[in-house]
Amino acid sequence: MTDVELHPWAEDDLDLLRRANTHELMDQLGGPENDEQVQARHERYLRMWREGTGWQFRVTIPGHPEGVGIVGYWPHDWHGEPALESGWSIESEYRGRGIAPAAVIAMLDAARAVGATLPVHAYPRVDNPASNAVCRKAGFRLLGEEEFEVKPGVVLHTNDWVVDLVEPAVEPVERVEFPRA
The mean per-residue pLDDT over the stretch 107-112 comes to 95
Strands (E) across 37-95 are located at: 55-61, 64-78, 81-90
3-class DSSP state of 169: coil
- Sheet of 5-8, strand order: 5-8, 55-61, 64-78, 81-90, 120-122, 154-163, 141-151
Say whether pLDDT at 173 is over 50. Answer: no
pTM for this structure? 0.86
Mean pLDDT of the chain: 87
Task: Note the pLDDT of residue 176.
Answer: 46
Task: Note the pLDDT of residue 59.
Answer: 97
CB 57, CB 110: distance < 8 Å: yes
Number of other CB atoms surrounding residue 117 within 10 Å: 10
